Amino acid sequence: MAQEFWDENNQSKKMQQEVIDLLKKYNIDYEVEGNKIFIKGNIRHADLHSLPTIAIVQRNNEIAFEEFRDWNRIVVTIPNHHVGDVILSKNVYADYYYPYLVIHF
């Protein structure tokens, strides 16, 4: 039981670091508090029905959190160009609390 918790916690930290690395790579402003990443931006799109997505805009960059059947992902797009994404487990989720997209690990 303790080993499962330890493995899951390590996996969450690894995914959180992958997202941080992606945000750093493309100069996206963010803050980390514990197991949450706060990305400041204005909401561009939110679809909470078919394939849930929350997309925000920071400067000219779009940052989106997308939910799929078996996994989730964070996607960074610069103007007219898909830049990068990180695949996340279903345990990772996001919400929007003005003015932040909050990713929970």
DSSP state of 14: H
Q: Distance between CA 100 and CA 91 in Å, rounded?
A: 20
**How much is the pLDDT for 82?**
77
Q: Taking 80 as the threshold, does the pLDDT of residue 51 lie above it?
A: no
CB 87 within 8 A of CB 71: yes
Determine contact, residues 74/52, Cβ cutoff 8 Å.
no
Q: What does the pLDDT look like over 66-77, one tens digit per residue?
A: 998 899 999 999
Global pTM reads 0.88
Average pLDDT of the chain, as a whole number? 90
Answer whether residue 97 shows pLDDT above 90.
yes
